[in-house]
Structure 1
């Protein structure tokens, strides 16, 4: 091979190596440029998010909307679920997303004697143009444990042509209570065999050392409009179970939806205030809107304003021996023990 051929070959290999180094540098420069561009875009997006979200959070807090959503969820839950309350004393927990979706998680408890027993939490969400959706997640102790029991609607309220025959139904709660020794307090739920005004039920309950936590209110179901219902026949006795509203203890909020006053029990002395709370809550929910039973509540409110309030049961709490006495009341039936704790009781 000639000497010139070697020189030419070495020059081509050298040029090839230079081209590869140049290409690698170009690739890395391109990668770094793309990386910095992505970082700048992400920082820009984050800055826009911050500049947008901060005013949204400030408005959500100072306008009372955060507290309003917690109030909205607590009111919906407590006016249609038996035996439970939502923790309303904690600092507002609601959050709002950039898409203006509101979410909150609130503790749920039962009052058993003097105890406020946490039994789970309610998780709620409401999109900007959507309706409220929520789930109650209970802390269950037992497999297939039933955490809520419906009240039985007496036939006289919707004017059905059936009647109860006292003494035919066996109350499982009676056997439970008689086996519980002294020194315990319980939460007990029962239904009425005929509708009563709230003050009439209080006249009966005044004989016992128990406090009233809730009362289911008849608002025209079955008679005036159809709702989801269950008909149960036990020993020839009809029982209708329908979605219902609850008369709950007196509660009041300020202009920014912060809790001002809240009772934990319904008393005869402040029964009128509890009734006022009931009407105010129902009207407020309808006005705010955005929940599944809004149209149904409008019909219920119209019926109640025309006919007044009648109740057909109660959830009470007190010493086990006092709760046991209630089973002997002729107009009470469908008892359920919904909570039991060691003694903590100071009376109504």
Structure 2
């Protein structure tokens, strides 16, 4: 019995010898371990961020390369130029050699381009246009005009010929001279921009013939395309007889290549265009058809109605925006066909070239 108890005691002693205490971590060693763990996590996070940045950079680069080489950016710029210049008389959109176009990760194109008007022989910057277009969305844009004066409306307006809206003879409606008196106060040595309306609808060739005797150039003409007769549109009325409507603008021809890159353009109608207005009219129809087919924008359905009207009827205009020396512009009052003169920008003399030859007496 005694031997057994002694044996058990020996066994217990041997079991206790197997029990060891866990190692004790010093505070310094523990902090070192935590620091290493945090650094590993930070390295992993930084690696993930760098990888995502590289993937994003590659993605954006591929998008820009594709948009530039496939003609998508060319189509975007052509859309802006066509939209603005067909709906805004006399205004031009900047034609940069290399357009700066931002493409977002969601494939939205954005750009800002300068707007200018021809005043004499200068292209005078009058504002900016900010445009954007989603990959499957509509083209939208907004203007930021650089107006010299507060509360001045720089938008040229044209009055529809009274014969369109009324059955009364034209002679019963008094002629409105608008800003002609103000124009007469401007000294020699200046050039200006001027717009006017006509009493009747006329062909572009006929209007160019009336202007041929003056030393001026034409930057645009409002086209009648069935507004308020073939279809309804927004409009305003002044004096009970003067109807203002949105209009299409007959502008000088612009040419594009197969990728919709601008290849040629003309700033104004000069003397040589008198016998070539049919080419500019043909270009108008082509641009209008391209615009209504390839662009989604506010007002596309109305432009389709305009196109349908012009395909059935000849293109006629009811005014013009012109520029040249102030004394030449003042002479336009000699034409009884012209009315509602609107004075635009004025600049110092810059008219060295003679665009129109006076007919020999």
Distance 1:37 1:112 in 2: 62
**1:6-17 to 2 correspondences below 5 Å:** none
TM-score (norm 2): 0.85
Task: Choose the corresponding residue for 1:192, options 160, 183, 198.
Answer: 198
CA contact (8 A) 1:217 1:309 kept: yes
Which runs of 5 or more structure 2 residues have no equivalent in the other structure? 1-23, 356-361
Does residue 228 (structure 1) correspond to residue 231 (structure 2)? The answer is no
What is the SS of the residue equivalent to 1:142? coil
Per-residue Cα deviation, 1:35-58 (whole angstroms, up to 9, x for no partner): 223212211211221232222111
What is the SS of the residue equivalent to 2:218? strand
Structure 1 position 169, deviation (Å): 5.2
Does residue 140 (structure 1) correspond to residue 147 (structure 2)? The answer is yes
Which runs of 5 or more structure 1 residues have no equivalent in the other structure? 1-14
Alignment partner, residue 254 of structure 1:
257
CA contact (8 A) 2:139 2:295 kept: no
- Over 3 Å counting, the alpha-carbon distance change for 1:231 and 1:316 in structure 2 is same
Distance 2:54 2:74 in 1: 27
Task: Choose the corresponding residue for 1:211, options 217, 223, 239.
Answer: 217
CA contact (8 A) 2:130 2:142 kept: yes
Per-residue Cα deviation, 1:4-55 (whole angstroms, up to 9, x for no partner): xxxxxxxxxxx79x35x45544543443233223212211211221232222
Distance 1:27 1:163 in 2: 96
Distance 2:82 2:184 in 1: 35
Deviation above 6 Å: which 4+ runs of structure 1?
Answer: none
Does residue 171 (structure 1) correspond to residue 177 (structure 2)? The answer is yes
Greater alpha carbon shift after TM alignment, 90-99 vs 240-249 = 90-99
Does residue 106 (structure 1) correspond to residue 113 (structure 2)? The answer is yes
Per-residue Cα deviation, 1:138-168 (whole angstroms, up to 9, x for no partner): 11211122221221111323x5345555784
Per-residue Cα deviation, 1:175-212 (whole angstroms, up to 9, x for no partner): 21111111111110111121111111112111211111
Task: Choose the corresponding residue for 1:73, options 52, 59, 80.
Answer: 80
Distance 2:212 2:49 in 1: 67
Distance 1:218 1:146 in 2: 23
Distance 1:329 1:86 in 2: 31
Alignment partner, residue 243 of structure 2:
240
Task: Choose the corresponding residue for 1:263, options 263, 266, 269.
Answer: 266
Alignment partner, residue 295 of structure 2:
289
What is the SS of the residue equivalent to 2:334? coil
**1:107-122 to 2 correspondences below 5 Å:** 107-122=114-129
CA contact (8 A) 1:89 1:259 kept: no
CA contact (8 A) 1:83 1:148 kept: no
Alignment partner, residue 19 of structure 2:
none
Distance 1:227 1:203 in 2: 31
TM-score (norm 1): 0.88
Aligned-residue CA RMSD in angstroms?
Answer: 2.0
Greater alpha carbon shift after TM alignment, 162-171 vs 121-130 = 162-171
Structure 1 position 298, deviation (Å): 1.0
